[in-house]
Amino acid sequence: MTTFSIRPECPADKDAIYAINVAAFPEDDEARLVNTLRDQATEIISLVAEQEGRIVGHLLLSPASLDAAPQLKLMGLAPMAVLPEFQSQGVGSKLVEAGLKCCADAGVSAVIVLGHPEYYPRFGFVPSITYGIKGEYDVPAEVFMIKELIPQSLHNLSGTVSYHPAFASL
């Protein structure tokens, strides 16, 4: 069984994080997005999965916003990447769980994700349209999901939620 630990990124991890995103995604767009968000976004949460000193997975969360409630504290989960040879061993799940805990500890109301509808519901994500909330992208409703961390914080809200402006480069 693979054992690994999850911890916040440190400056020395930057190149390894870039390489993981290049390895996991078809292009280098996500790798470059991580660097941009690190430079531009305040209050990012950036976690790495480490096994025997090697970084094998990475997860970033950055501030998002709901047009109808700009004061609401939201985070967008993206990108997440695990080295192909370490996928399907639970690394991604541990990263998501740790990321959600960091958000909860930081007083975040809810987390959004645009991703695989077979994957994220296991962490409590539901289609955001359940709350009358839409994403800024024209995608099928089931792939744009949200998880409420502070109970009732999405009650009676609707509108369109947007990721950090750096995502426009994707």
Which one of 76, 92, 99, 135 is in contact with ligand COA (CB under 6 A)? 92
133 residue type, one letter:
I
- Name the minimum Å distance from CB 125 to ligand COA: 11
Number of residues counted as binding ligand COA (CB under 6 A): 17
Cross-strand pairs, 86 = none
Q: How far is the CB of 94 from ligand COA (least distance, A)?
A: 7
Whether 40 contacts 127, CB under 8 Å: no
Task: Tell how strand 133-135 and strand 159-162 pair up.
Answer: parallel
Of 67-75, 88-96, 102-110, 148-156: span binding ligand COA (CB under 6 A) = 88-96
Q: Which of residues 103-142 bind ligand COA (CB under 6 A)?
A: 115-116, 118-119
Cα first-last separation, the chain: 35
Pick the closer one to ligand COA by CB: 54 or 116.
116
Radius of gyration (Cα) for the chain, nearest Å?
15
Which tokens go with 166? 């750096």
Residues binding ligand COA (CB under 6 A): 24-25, 79-82, 87-93, 115-116, 118-119
